[in-house]
Amino acid sequence: MLLCGRILAGLYTGITCVNIPNYIGEISSPDIRGTLGTAFQLMVACGVLFSYVVGDFMTSWRGLAAVCAIPVLIYSVLIFLLVKESPNVLIAKGKLNEAMHVLQHFRGKHYDVEPELEVLRQNQEEMSKNKTTLKDLKKSYILKPLIIIVAIMFFQQTSGINAVVFNLNDIFSSAGTGMDEGVNTFTVGLVQVLATIVATFLCDRLGRKLLLILSSSTMCISLVALDVFFYEKDQDEQHAMDTLGWLPLVSLIAYMAAFSIGYGPIPWVLMGELNTLDLMGLAAFRNIN
């Protein structure tokens, strides 16, 4: 039963991670696409913080799983009741009038959606004439963005973020600094949320490239600092506690903040920006897997 639950959770998490960035990229206007794109990672950070807080009060993983299922249920109901279909999908189905109403809903009642709707319609016609297959991956206008996105997703997953998030409490416990592990874990989770909020304002102002550089370099320094602490602890535990007892918390706060302004939100933003419309789903599937 536990294995089936994990398989289903992983499957539907993958579906969510494919659809949400693409949906945001399709419904948002270019001038705020970066800001809206970071909202996906912001909600991920809020979910992680929620699980940290609830987990600190729950003694049973079954109870924690049940409590965390409540927001998922609410989210599913709200999507069914409130979320409108993407204009691109409606145009692909030939529902031009409905697509116009949806686009008007997203842009505002005083916005002239006709030019944008015409562009979307022409794009759809072009896609219909030139059906994309896996053989088309060798075309440079498709291959280059795909390689960039897959590479960034690869570096995101190999940055150690999942190992840190899933084992944060154990890391603080192993550090043995005397600080409360629950408080430290909550602090790092809160920093992740706040830093992601900051990223929503910086993404379009500073650009994706600079934020990725700052993010990766700071994450590297933070992990090296954490490694230095545990090395010193192995050599002389008392000396490490007296002189570097603050280092695990500070390094993990810096690590999580750096991840949250760069490698957390930006790969999802790029997935909605760099892909051609006909390969968005394929690229997203490859990135998740």
Cα(236)–Cα(240) distance, rounded to whole angstroms? Answer: 6
Cα-Cα-Cα-Cα dihedral sign, residues 224, 52, 157, 283: negative
23 shares a domain with 165: yes
Please indicate, yes or no, if residue 38 is contained in any of the structural domains. Answer: yes
Please indicate, yes or no, if residue 42 is contained in any of the structural domains. Answer: yes
pTM of the full predicted structure?
Answer: 0.76
99 shares a domain with 32: no
User: What does the pLDDT look like over 63-73, one tens digit per residue?
Assistant: 888 888 898 89
Closest listed residue to residue 150, CA positions, set 162, 137, 166, 131: 137
199 shares a domain with 136: yes
Cα atoms found within 13 Å of the Cα of residue 220, Cβ hemisphere only: 7
pLDDT given for residue 194 in this prediction: 93
What is the mean pLDDT of the segment spanning 110-115?
84
pLDDT band at residue 8 under the 50/70/90 scheme: confident
Among 21-25, 129-133, 215-219, 265-269, the least confident range: 129-133
253 shares a domain with 150: yes
* Domain count along the chain: 2
What is the mean pLDDT of the segment spanning 274-281?
54
250 shares a domain with 114: no
Cα(151)–Cα(274) distance, rounded to whole angstroms? Answer: 13
Q: Which of 2-11, 87-96, 222-231 has the highest mean pLDDT?
A: 222-231
User: What does the pLDDT look like over 178-230, one tens digit per residue?
Assistant: 777 778 888 888 999 999 998 888 887 888 889 999 999 999 999 999 999 99
Helix segments in 1-139, DSSP class H: 2-27, 33-57, 61-82, 87-92, 96-107, 114-129
Q: Pick the last residue of a domain from 75, 94, 129.
A: 129
Q: What is the mean pLDDT of the chain?
A: 83
Give the range of the structural domain holding residue 231, as residue numbers without chain letter.
Answer: 2-57+131-288
pLDDT band at residue 86 under the 50/70/90 scheme: confident
CATH number of the domain residue 197 falls in: 1.20.1250.20
Please indicate, yes or no, if residue 64 is contained in any of the structural domains. Answer: no
Cα-Cα-Cα-Cα dihedral sign, residues 62, 63, 65, 66: positive
Please indicate, yes or no, if residue 68 is contained in any of the structural domains. Answer: no
pLDDT given for residue 281 in this prediction: 47
144 shares a domain with 110: no
227 shares a domain with 197: yes
Please indicate, yes or no, if residue 116 is contained in any of the structural domains. Answer: yes
Distance of CA 130 to the CA centre of its chain: 31
pLDDT exceeds cutoff 50 at 166: yes
142 shares a domain with 277: yes
What is the mean pLDDT of the segment spanning 129-158?
77
pLDDT given for residue 182 in this prediction: 79
Cα(49)–Cα(51) distance, rounded to whole angstroms? Answer: 5
What is the mean pLDDT of the segment spanning 33-41?
79
pLDDT exceeds cutoff 70 at 136: no
